[in-house]
Structure 1
Amino acid sequence: MTARGLIIAAPRSGSGKTTITLGLQRALRRSGLTVRGLKCGPDYIDPAFHAAATGAPSANLDSHAMPPGLIGAIARRAMAEADLVVAEGSMGLFDAVPGPEGRTGAGADIAALTGWPVVLVVDVSGAAQSAAAVALGCTLYDRRIRVAGVILNKVASPRHERLVRQGMERIGLPVLGALPREASLILPERHLGLVQAGETADLEARLESLADAVSAAVDLEAVLGIAGPATAMAGLGATPPLPLPGRRIAIARDAAFSFVYPHVEAGWREAGADLLAFSPLADEAPPEACDACWLPGGYPELHAGRLAGATRFLAGLREFARSRPVHGECGGYMVLGRSLIDADGVSHAMAGLLSVETSFAKRKMNLGYRRAVLAADGPLGPEGAALTGHEFHYASVVTLGEDPPFAMVTDPHGSAPAPAGSRRGLVTGSFFHAIARAEAG
């Protein structure tokens, strides 16, 4: 483990840390370094952008949903394959959910666990010297971590930059760069407020523009000088993320089924599994040679008509489920149900392997960490096993139907256990994205 690392964080969401992270990753890669990206927290969109920027896989580090051993294993894998790890924080640096110190989901937890220094991205629009007071608060708030420098974002003019720099000099925090207010540096947003890397037609051009802007405005040598070794992970043993659903896993992968946590797939492969991708949108059935089928999350509501007409896929999935386990997460769960109502209110028949009926016509955001206790034996473990994970969806359940629940679910804020998802025979599903086995307690 000789690679150095750092974490790009911010006092709040919307400060520009994602675009600056991507620009740094691409710029440092262009300088000849082997760069790996990592994402703090459960966000499943940003790692794909990191992979595009660096040309190498990215993954999540989540102090709430992952045991420390799993975080250590993911970080060590990244360091073993890179000269530099550029990790991206989540929301604000200290934003978190209730939990023991170090297990709250905050980016600061990952900085403390790895020992990597933090580079703070500060949106200075609407402020001058006062931006330094915010940055100073971040340096003092948590003594476990070290904020080693700051990148100023959305600088209005040379005069504005001078005033902000005066404040940073007063608190002794190095300014590593200053980016002007520039709309072209903003990545596009779309369905659910998210755009995925594979859906950004001009992604390479955007990444090159970001790298050009960052190279012109940021002292890359100073950033490299700040990066440090992972000093705080000694003794963290590896922890497998999730149980193995099968030795040969059929996994849906196309524009409708686009999301699996990278560490989950990596963990299955390390456990000896083969993952065989197939495309429901191309009307492909799960490969017959497989002994389990996984339908990931994604955007099936955007492709409901095509999925309803994918007769080979639906017939093959139903036949597969007669003898082998099938599990669907979020969008995959919706496709396993009886019907899916799209945003226009049109109902489309789905696989009918579960009795649930879902709708995207009436949008309601469901977001947050979950702890799921399995209600019966299944591909993710035996009855009573606990998993940590995350939900993010706008779809709602119109009719749950007669199927018993997949799991009993709670959140970190003290919610009472509530039934979630559905199961019937060898088929299971829920809106819950599994991240890791839950620790006892």
Structure 2
Amino acid sequence: MPPGLLVSAPASGSGKTTVALGLLRAFAEDGLAVQPFKSGPDYIDPAFHRAACGRASYNLDSWAMGEGLFSAVAATALGADLCVAEGSMGLYDGVATQGLSGFGSSAETARAMGWPVLLVLDVGGQAQSAAAVALGFAAYAPDLRFMGVILNRVASPRHERLVRLGMERAGLAVLGALPRRGELKLPERHLGLIQAVEHPDLDAAIAGYAAFLRAHVDLAAIRTGAQGGVRARPGALARPPAQRVALAQDEAFSFAYPHLLEGWRAAGAEILPFSPLADEPPDAGADLVWLPGGYPELHAGRLAQASRFMNGLRAHARTRPVHGECGGYMALGAALIDAGGVRHQMAGLLGLATSYEARRLHLGYRRATLEQAMPGHAAGTALRGHEFHYSTILEQPDAPLARVADADGAPTPETGSRRGHATGTFFHLIAEEP
């Protein structure tokens, strides 16, 4: 495996995405083949990673993935010069109950891969005290390699000097100090960052991050400090659910995990993309239609009027399977009520009715045991995934698809549903349990 590093932080919102994108682009500009990764469940950041360095980014997840799949995903880096991974939430944040190979923290990913941690520290509102925070993170897990810190949102040269004094006293390497610049913040909406395809000038923005890091970060020291050495074992990333898969792909439906799609292709499946927002029907020769998650609530009016898409979807479902995840699940339902209270008719293949008028966050890992078969998985199969949405179920009259629980085993009411050839879930599939 090539050497690598993991960009993390004490908490979300510290600037690690901006730093990760800047590093990916800067090293790619220097002629390195850089393999990006995302630690934990996330379907937005990997698309930004790919835009930054030109290589597909893959999720490494110690809660949802067994050791075999984790290693197979890691093996996507073989042939690269350097790995740059972005953590989720805070460095040590995970769940209480162990999953297939861990608790889901970014620290576990770094430890499993032999990567040192580059800590992005928001030093706004503090000076020497920032060193106590960084020292705590470096000492919390003595077996975790710690590269150093990048100071973010530095207010002035005097502020930087004070923070550096504290870091020197704590024996911590400062690998960069980023002045406070509001324009470097990526646009967000209710699920976090906007999608990469929606950014008005993404390439210029990422180039700006790279230039900013070149001016304020010791890229040579970071490159030299990258480590690794674990042996990744290439293997199957995922079994395809069908031979010819019509996959919805546009701004309303884009949350498909790269390791699943790559696994389907590697196993010989043909993926046939189409755009519901462009009123394109799924390929008539497809064996399966798959609607991934996304933001259908932002485009509900257009989807309701997309007659060619809806009619093609219904025609397919009369004889062949259709599956939807989260946003795709809502689109297969009877109705979707948007944030303004407007009711939009959806495909009606399931009886599900959902609303964004009164938002409530549903977030966390999910373990689902199928009570009925879904495409690619037999009844009785246990699946690992995660849920992340703000919609509320108003009606769910169909038979439940699965028994679903959170990471600690507590049952959740979002069981998914099945009617005829149509199935849907609120959880995003990551892996089948080995």
Instruction: Calculate the TM-score normalised by the size of structure 2.
Output: 0.96
Matched with 2:425 is 430
Matched with 2:308 is 312
Instruction: Provide the C-alpha distance between the structure 1 equivalents of 2:357 and 2:163, rounded to a whole number of angstroms.
Output: 46
Deviation at 1:157, TM superposition (A): 1.2
Matched with 1:54 is 53
Deviation at 1:136, TM superposition (A): 1.1
Matched with 2:89 is 91
| Matching residue's letter, 1:23 | G
Deviation at 1:237, TM superposition (A): 6.6
Verify: 1:138 aligned to 2:133, yes or no. Answer: no
Verify: 1:381 aligned to 2:377, yes or no. Answer: yes
Deviation at 1:378, TM superposition (A): 2.2
Matched with 2:352 is 356
Deviation at 1:285, TM superposition (A): 1.1
Verify: 1:100 aligned to 2:95, yes or no. Answer: no
Matched with 2:201 is 202
Matched with 2:176 is 177
Deviation at 1:240, TM superposition (A): 3.6
Give SS of 1:228's match: coil
CA pair 34-240 structure 1, distance change in 2 beyond 3 A:
closer
1:109-162 Cα distance to aligned partner (Å, 9 max, x none): 001111111111111111111111111111111133111111111111111111
Deviation at 1:418, TM superposition (A): 4.6
Deviation at 1:175, TM superposition (A): 0.9
Matched with 1:160 is 159
Matched with 2:410 is 415
Deviation at 1:84, TM superposition (A): 0.9
Instruction: Provide the C-alpha distance between the structure 2 equivalents of 1:191 and 1:172, rounded to a whole number of angstroms.
Output: 39
Deviation at 1:320, TM superposition (A): 0.6
CA pair 339-82 structure 1, distance change in 2 beyond 3 A:
same
Give SS of 1:258's match: strand
Verify: 1:73 aligned to 2:72, yes or no. Answer: yes
Give SS of 1:251's match: strand
Deviation at 1:13, TM superposition (A): 1.4
Matched with 1:400 is 396
Q: Quick check: 1:356–1:399 contact (8 Å CA) kept in 2?
A: yes
Matched with 2:32 is 33
Instruction: Provide the C-alpha distance between the structure 1 equivalents of 2:373 and 2:188, rounded to a whole number of angstroms.
Output: 39
1:355-377 Cα distance to aligned partner (Å, 9 max, x none): 11111112111111000111112
1:204-243 Cα distance to aligned partner (Å, 9 max, x none): 1111111111000001100001101233x46x573543x4
Instruction: Calculate the TM-score normalised by the size of structure 1.
Output: 0.95
Matched with 1:292 is 288
Q: Quick check: 2:276–2:309 contact (8 Å CA) kept in 1?
A: yes
Instruction: Provide the C-alpha distance between the structure 2 equivalents of 1:131 and 1:406, rounded to a whole number of angstroms.
Output: 49
| Matching residue's letter, 1:221 | A
| Matching residue's letter, 1:32 | G
Give SS of 2:80's match: coil
Matched with 1:6 is 5
| Matching residue's letter, 1:299 | Y
Instruction: Provide the C-alpha distance between the structure 2 equivalents of 1:10 and 1:193, rounded to a whole number of angstroms.
Output: 17
Matched with 1:118 is 117
Instruction: Provide the C-alpha distance between the structure 2 equivalents of 1:144 and 1:322, rounded to a whole number of angstroms.
Output: 56
Gaps of 5+ in 2: none
Instruction: Provide the C-alpha distance between the structure 1 equivalents of 2:201 and 2:352, rounded to a whole number of angstroms.
Output: 38
Matched with 2:322 is 326
Deviation at 1:394, TM superposition (A): 0.7
Matched with 2:62 is 63
| Matching residue's letter, 1:92 | G
Deviation at 1:261, TM superposition (A): 0.7
Instruction: Provide the C-alpha distance between the structure 2 equivalents of 1:417 and 1:183, rounded to a whole number of angstroms.
Output: 39
Deviation at 1:331, TM superposition (A): 0.6
Q: Quick check: 1:371–1:438 contact (8 Å CA) kept in 2?
A: no
Verify: 1:271 aligned to 2:267, yes or no. Answer: yes
Matched with 2:249 is 253
Q: Quick check: 2:191–2:388 contact (8 Å CA) kept in 1?
A: no
Gaps of 5+ in 1: none
Instruction: Provide the C-alpha distance between the structure 2 equivalents of 1:152 and 1:100, rounded to a whole number of angstroms.
Output: 32
Instruction: Provide the C-alpha distance between the structure 1 equivalents of 2:249 and 2:39, rounded to a whole number of angstroms.
Output: 24
Deviation at 1:417, TM superposition (A): 6.0
Q: How many residues align?
A: 433
Instruction: Provide the C-alpha distance between the structure 2 equivalents of 1:425 and 1:20, rounded to a whole number of angstroms.
Output: 47
Matched with 2:364 is 368
1:361-419 Cα distance to aligned partner (Å, 9 max, x none): 12111111000111112214111100000111111111112x10111100113313656
Most deviating of 384-393 and 170-179:
170-179
Q: Quick check: 2:63–2:98 contact (8 Å CA) kept in 1?
A: no
How large is the Cα RMSD of the aligned pairs? Answer: 1.5
Q: Quick check: 1:185–1:210 contact (8 Å CA) kept in 2?
A: yes
Instruction: Provide the C-alpha distance between the structure 2 equivalents of 1:25 and 1:237, rounded to a whole number of angstroms.
Output: 24
